[in-house]
Amino acid sequence: MRYWWVNHAQTMRQEIAGGYLWSPVTEANGARSRFYDNMRLAAPGDLVLSYAEGRVGRIGIVADFAISAPKPEEFGSIGAYWNAVGWLLPVEWLDAALAVRPKDMLARLAPLLPATHSPIQPTTGNGNQKAYLAEVDRALVDLVLEAARLPRADLLVAPAKTISDFATTLDDLVERSILEDTSIDRTVREQLTRARRGQGLFRKRVLDVEPICRITGIDKPNLLIASHIKPWRACGTAAERLDGFNGLMLAPHADFLFDRGLIGFEDDGRALFSSQLQETDAVKLGMHTVQRPPPRPLRDESRAYFHHHRSAVYIP
């Protein structure tokens, strides 16, 4: 288990109400941020302290791994300079409202703060600029829980929301916006919504490019699913959602693992298996016994989509 502290004064209300955290992938200038990269490191069962308006107000439990997702609509004009697509981390926020002010306990708290990438300043207790999700030590979390008089046993809850729940909700929102967009031809709108489910024109185009499952070698179309490489909800244009080079034909279990970021592909076609895919589960799924076809280099036209999958979907 790991422990996290999130500074989210701007979006705290939306994220608490929605049961998630959301961040851009990079800073506005394109630079990587440890605080944003941490979204991909948080794992189910980790604890998160919510900090806003000078106090730790809530505690949450990470429910699942982060997924590639558009900026939430409920943010409105907040973060207008942020990337349109980022990472969404499902979090089960506990009902108990805390009121722990770090400044009131700074003498005890400061020595426990991270030496680098700290969420707050050890001398003043003010939030650090640009800090979002920071990893902290268990001792720091225990100190906050002690101040809140919250027994650790109260945190032993089973999160209810998963990646699948959020992915479906986000896909529904994107589909609704497409259906309501009268600037798009009706036929195109129909093809875009069918593409969400791996059907229609998108499926035909993927079959023309990738007719064989790269994991199992199955080549019978009726046994394969047309899966987006860059997730349908994360695509920025209609062209991306319908691009056959943004797809793979996969066996159903491979499609599930690929969508969840538990498998991926190198540019030379070699399969990647996430460290989060338990060995026992991989064996039961036949991942290590299946007669995989020889790796085939990716099409040049697909490389950008696979780069997105490796950097924003695949879990190392």
* pLDDT tens-digit series, residues 143-156: 998 898 876 655 55
Q: Tokens standing for 178?
A: 């497409």
Write the DSSP assignment of 218-239 as a string of letters: ---GGG-EEEESS-GGG--SHH
- Of 303, 211, 300, 232, which is closest to residue 266 (Cα–Cα)? 303
- This prediction has a pTM of 0.76
Question: What is the pLDDT, as a whole number, of residue 289?
Answer: 61
Q: Indicate if the pLDDT at residue 303 is higher than 70.
A: yes
Q: What single-letter DSSP state applies at residue 27?
A: -
Domains of the chain in sequence order: 3-161 (3.10.590.10), 164-312 (no CATH)
Nearest alpha-carbon partner for 71 in 12, 29, 22, 25: 22
Query: What 3-state class would DSSP assign to 153?
Result: helix
- Whole-number Å distance between alpha carbons of 23 and 21: 7
Helices and strands in the chain, H and E counts: 11, 11
Q: Picking from 52-56, 89-93, 162-166, which range would have the lowest pLDDT averaged per residue?
A: 162-166
- Give yes or no for residue 291 having a pLDDT over 70: no
User: Rounded to 5 degrees, what are φ and ψ at 192?
Assistant: -65, -40
pLDDT for position 2 = 92
Which residue reads 């697509």 in tokens?
85
Tell me the average pLDDT across 285-314: 86
Q: What is the structure's pLDDT at 52?
A: 94
Q: Which helix (H) or strand (E) holds 14?
A: helix 12-18
